[in-house]
């Protein structure tokens, strides 16, 4: 917390319902809207985000401002991206009323986080958000791609989504989200969140996922590696030799590339990690170079 300003007055159940009623807002399940109404949970999330006072935090879907108030205490600046124009318009008023000394740290951007590519001001260094369940993984992958300045993240997502984001090769939940997130860095489960801290109470459990970006020095493009991942999991019951046949041009070509990459063609996509996928894409690129030369 910044000792130069008084603590923000965090929102509780009564305040959140009052704001929602005044705005005529009823949380929409189709948009995955579940607002956090427990100040203790907000403090916990902010603490686990391990923010530095110089951090610029990107918050996606701030909603009524529960998490925003906590983040403003801990960081130099918060850029809140909100797709709902009504919520985006109300957020500065909420901050001014409950954390007047911190209001200058907030920038609200009315935009869809799935399509936003540029933000005003200094580049964000951290992503902290309570993400809508239905778009959590696409949002995280998109933002990590277009905003390489993001060094780490702490996001609250559906528990099953958290499992997929953090899964390791060979596990039941390992899949496309697991591998693609691993391209950018390391994800881990950072705890569970009770259903009772939300309004309305969701029908699913929630969990926190902590992420740390890895080295960005890659010899291949993201698109080249992701094409291999998509092909491998499009028919996940098949061996890599068969699953990558269309991508490589034939089953025989896929086998040659896999052997050149040091990957057993009889394995399935769920059995290998990001390093092997990179090797496969690299072997294919080298094979094309030889043919073209």
* Domain boundary pick from 165, 193, 213: 213
Q: Is 217 buried (19+), middle (13-18) or exposed (0-12) by CB count in 10 A?
A: exposed
Ranges of residues in the chain whose predicted pLDDT is under 70 = 1-6, 28-32, 216-217, 289-293
For position 265, which CATH number holds? 1.10.8.100
Alpha-carbon span 117 to 115, nearest angstrom: 6
Secondary structure (3-state) at 58: strand
pLDDT at position 132: 83
Question: With the CA atoms of 175, 178, 180 and 184 taken in that order, what torsion angle do they form, in degrees rounded to the nearest 10?
Answer: -170
* Domain boundary pick from 164, 186, 213: 213
pLDDT at position 6: 60
Alpha-carbon span 64 to 277, nearest angstrom: 41
Q: How far is C-alpha 92 from the chain's CA centre?
A: 24
Using CA of residue 99, residue 103, residue 104, residue 108, what is the dihedral sign? positive
Q: How many other C-beta atoms can be found within 10 angstroms of the C-beta atom of residue 166?
A: 23
pLDDT at position 288: 77
Q: Same domain, yes or no, for 52 and 105?
A: yes
- 38-83 pLDDT, tens digit per residue, is 999 999 999 999 999 999 999 999 999 999 999 999 999 999 999 9
- CA-CA distances (angstroms) from residue 34 to 17, 30, 134, 221? 12, 11, 12, 36
Which of 176, 178, 158, 157 is CA-nearest to residue 167? 178
165 neighbors 178 (Cβ within 8 angstroms): yes
Q: Is residue 6 part of a domain?
A: no
End-to-end CA distance of the chain: 60
pLDDT at position 31: 61
* Domain boundary pick from 195, 213, 231: 213
Q: Is residue 201 part of a domain?
A: yes
Domain span at 229:
222-292
pLDDT at position 218: 74
> What are the backbone dihedrals phi and psi of residue 81, each rounded to the nearest 5 degrees, phi first?
-100, 115
Q: Is residue 256 part of a domain?
A: yes
pLDDT at position 30: 60
Q: How many domains does the chain have?
A: 2
Q: Same domain, yes or no, for 27 and 48?
A: yes
Q: Is residue 239 part of a domain?
A: yes
Q: Same domain, yes or no, for 134 and 249?
A: no
pTM of the model: 0.92
Q: Same domain, yes or no, for 44 and 160?
A: yes
Q: Is 228 buried (19+), middle (13-18) or exposed (0-12) by CB count in 10 A?
A: buried
Which of 77, 108, 105 is CA-nearest to residue 91? 108
Which of 223, 214, 284 is CA-nearest to residue 256? 284
pLDDT at position 3: 46
């Amino acid at each position: 917390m910044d000792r130069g300003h008084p603590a923000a007055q965090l929102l509780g159940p009564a305040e959140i319902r009052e704001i929602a009623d005044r705005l005529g807002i009823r949380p929409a399940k189709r948009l995955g809207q579940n607002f956090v109404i427990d100040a203790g949970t907000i403090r916990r999330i902010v603490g686990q985000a391990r923010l530095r006072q110089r951090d610029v935090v990107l918050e996606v879907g701030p909603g009524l401002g529960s998490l925003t108030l906590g983040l403003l205490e801990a960081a130099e600046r918060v850029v809140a991206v909100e797709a709902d124009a009504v919520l985006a318009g109300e957020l500065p008023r909420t901050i001014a009323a409950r954390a007047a000394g911190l209001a200058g740290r907030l920038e609200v951007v009315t935009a869809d986080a799935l399509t936003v590519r540029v933000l005003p001001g200094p580049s964000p260094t951290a992503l902290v958000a309570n993400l809508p369940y239905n778009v959590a993984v696409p949002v995280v992958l998109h933002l990590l791609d277009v905003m390489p300045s993001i060094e780490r993240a702490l996001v609250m997502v559906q528990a099953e989504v958290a499992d997929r984001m953090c899964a390791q090769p060979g596990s039941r939940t390992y899949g496309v989200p697991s591998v693609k997130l691993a391209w950018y860095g390391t994800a881990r489960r950072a705890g569970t969140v009770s259903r009772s801290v939300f309004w309305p109470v969701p029908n699913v459990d929630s969990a926190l996922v902590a992420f740390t970006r890895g080295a960005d020095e890659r010899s291949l493009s993201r698109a080249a590696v992701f094409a291999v991942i998509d092909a491998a999991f499009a028919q996940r019951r098949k061996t890599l030799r068969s699953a990558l046949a269309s991508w490589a041009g034939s089953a025989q070509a896929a086998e040659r590339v896999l052997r050149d990459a040091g990957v057993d063609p009889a394995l399935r996509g769920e059995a290998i990690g990001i390093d092997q996928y990179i090797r496969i894409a690299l072997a294919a690129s080298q094979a094309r170079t030889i043919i073209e030369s």
